[in-house]
């Protein structure tokens, strides 16, 4: 990817990354919905210990990649909350 030379090019690069992120999030969603099949109750869906483990790993990966860990944490917490809501709906529908 060449270095952007204008705001329009920066935005085009961001849009391309957003397309890739959307595809990755769709794959993550498939796994989240599949995980609901293995959960026994809402507590196992919410899994606060697992949330903290995932956030800590995201912060560590962020630091190694040059991403501000606080940005990674905010993004991961929002993403996890949205997927927990989705998984709870999936869990409830299957019961």
Q: What is the pLDDT of residues 70-79, one digit of tens each?
A: 999 999 999 9
* Residue positions counted in the chain: 95
pLDDT in tens, 46-69: 999 999 999 999 999 999 999 999
Angstrom distance (rounded) from CA 61 to CA 1? 22
Amino acid 94: pLDDT: 63
* DSSP of 24-38: HHHHHHHHHHHHHTT
DSSP letter (8 states) at residue 40: -
């Amino acid at each position: 990817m060449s270095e952007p030379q204008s705001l329009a090019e920066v935005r085009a690069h961001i849009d391309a990354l957003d397309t890739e992120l959307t595809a990755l999030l769709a794959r993550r969603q498939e796994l989240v919905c599949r995980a609901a099949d293995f959960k026994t109750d809402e507590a196992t869906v919410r899994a606060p210990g697992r949330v903290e483990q995932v956030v800590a790993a995201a912060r560590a990966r962020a630091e190694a990649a040059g991403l501000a860990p606080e940005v990674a944490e905010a993004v991961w917490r929002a993403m996890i909350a949205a997927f927990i809501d989705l998984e709870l709906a999936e869990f409830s529908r299957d019961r």
